[in-house]
Chain A
Amino acid sequence: MASESISVTTSDDQTIQLSRKHAQMSQTINSMLEDSVGADQEAIPLPNVSSEVLKKVIDWCTHHENDPAPVEKVKKLNKKREYKAKNSTISDEWDKNFVNAELRVIVDILLAANYLDVKGLFELMCKHIANELKGKTPDQIRERFGIQDDLTEEDKAAMRKAWGATKNDS
């Protein structure tokens, strides 16, 4: 019987203990564990994740550890309904607080969730960033995310023509 807690090493060389249940929410760690059945007790290296971010991820896992597993939707009908219900509103109050952080942190968590393959967390972060993009003019988006405007005037003119842009769009 494998032990109840697993230790991982983060990018800044810290070793963090996390329970098996939380570890198994991450597909990446889960598959690592399966690969090394029996020969464990060694800390799993996670070179892409800092300890600060990992703590956040563990926070999220702790809160959501009892969530039912996401059901794979295969039917086309479901897909349509899903598309129709497609909205990026975050319904959970705890989640709303959780994403209320600096953009720097959000992006890091997104990347970590992607690397660790924690589906629910990744989805949450995607939704949050999509919300940030929603309803903003291109200028506002550039300002919020600090993006350089590398489009030429011709590009913009072509785009305006293709979409019939309104005055509000830059």
Chain B
Amino acid sequence: MALHFNEIDDDCLVLILNHLSPYDLRRVSCVCRRLQHLADSDAVWRDHATLQHFDRQWIENPKAQSQKEQYVQSLLDRHKEKWWPVIIHVPRRMKIRCGPPEFYSMLKIFTRGSTGVDSISSQEDVLKVNMQEPTVAVFREMTFNFEEYLLLLASAVEWVTESSPDDGAYISIPTSKILIIEESDRPSVIPSILLKRRGISYSIEGIDFHRFNKTLNRMEAQADGLNKLGLILEHVRLRKKIWSKIHLRKGDLTLEQVDAIVNPVDSSMMGRGSMVSGAIHRRAGPLLYDHCRTLEPCDYIGQTRVTPGYNLKANKIIHVCGPVIWSGSQPRHGLQFAYQNVLLTAIEEDCRSISFPAMGTGSGGFDCSIACKDAVEALVMFLSGYTVTEPMSFDQSEEEDYIGYVRMKRVDVDLIEEINLVCYDNSGFENPYPEFLAALRHLLRWSYKHQTCKTVSTQ
């Protein structure tokens, strides 16, 4: 039998090997010396090396000595820089033990035996996570470190380790359910949400498209505040940070022990009366009133002035020209801008913790649910590094309700350590606490349950 194979000359064999994938080539090269030599040859690998990237220019790697090395190198490079979305579908209330061996084999799927496997094999801990409902999570991954990966994994599901450490529930990620989305030029089967993010097409193997699309649509609907997948992913990564920073409580703003509290005023900077502003003035004493008389009036909604705290427990008061529903063509925009401008001021004034009242819900005249939703969105976006775009750019726009964001430059949002949303009980207006909670749950939807147990009343 051996004779048959030797009769085929090298040129023919190369043409035969050209039909094989890199994965098969690897096995063929283990057969015998002749095949090893041929399977490593440049002629076989040239196509793989040059044509594997469809979405970008192929760059020759100067270090690689052969086309095969070229391929392996570019594969590694690609994995380093590329987001590799993986869909994990988790059936309802399914509990399967999943320890390191399973993760290991999951990684095998990602890496096809070439890189990154050793880095996690030493992990011994079993992640305990319990799923409340069917979940689709979109992860990036390839060159993750293990912790980051687990964090991302955990965001697919309800995170219960901290609330019930002895629950004993395990994460259920059957490896057979892991699907890798590969690039292809069949745009018909692509969920639009992925297209938006990547600008490239995908096809998905072995997936129930109807169900998949339904779940994705639901996910998209849930996330309409941060309506882009990219933002969702970023959100996932930042969420743990964000949820530890935003606190919601019922209580009295004037008793807050923070670096700065926020006093929403009208453009004269002289807010008085029965609102939050009046309460602050009563508590802070007449010196604050005298100070405020010396301040210049505001030019625009959201402008801030800073005074000392006087008799308050807070060190500083940030007076902000509060938005009112009848001011300008973009009242919601003004509201978000006010929140974010206060935070920017706080960073300038070196205030690490800050307490907000529910701006706009009192004499501002905003609908409570809209104001709370916008407020939370503004805070989350700010902590994610985004700020609302300039109000004037929307004047001519038809979409009056549209709020755009741009990424901030040169602002270190990590300087803000604590943001308190304080809902004052006795204002006579609708208490915004439930609305705030709903908004927070909406935007930090996987995790805010965890946060609410920390809520303390200062009254």
Contacts and interface: CB of A to CB of B under 8 A. Distances in A.
A126 B19 contact: yes
Interface string A43-61: 0000000000000000000
A81 B183 CA distance: 12
Given A80-B54, A126-B15, A148-B32, A137 B1 contact: no
Given A111-B7, A126-B16, A164-B114, A170 B32 contact: no
SS class of chain A's interface: helix, strand, loop or mixed? helix
A138 B31 contact: yes
Nearest to B24: A134
Nearest to A163: B26
Contacts, number: 108
A146 B2 contact: yes
B257 interface: no
B20 A107 contact: no
Contact of A107 (B5, B15, B24, B47): B5
A146 B26 contact: no
B179 interface: no
Interface residues on B, range: 35 or more
Interface in A108-150: 110-111, 114, 122, 126-127, 129-130, 133-138, 141-142, 145-150
13 contacts: A80-B54, A84-B184, A104-B4, A126-B12, A130-B17, A130-B18, A133-B17, A133-B20, A134-B24, A145-B5, A148-B2, A151-B33, A156-B30
A53 to B, nearest CB: 12
Contacts of B8: 107, 110-111
B189 to A, nearest CB: 15
Contacts of B21: 134
A135 B20 CA distance: 10
A161 to B, nearest CB: 12
B49 to A, nearest CB: 11
A155 interface: yes
B115 interface: yes
Nearest to B1: A146
B31 A142 contact: yes
A165 B26 CA distance: 9
Contacts of B35: 147
Contacts of A138: 27-28, 30-31
B30 A159 contact: yes
B82 interface: no
A85 to B, nearest CB: 9
A142 B24 CA distance: 14
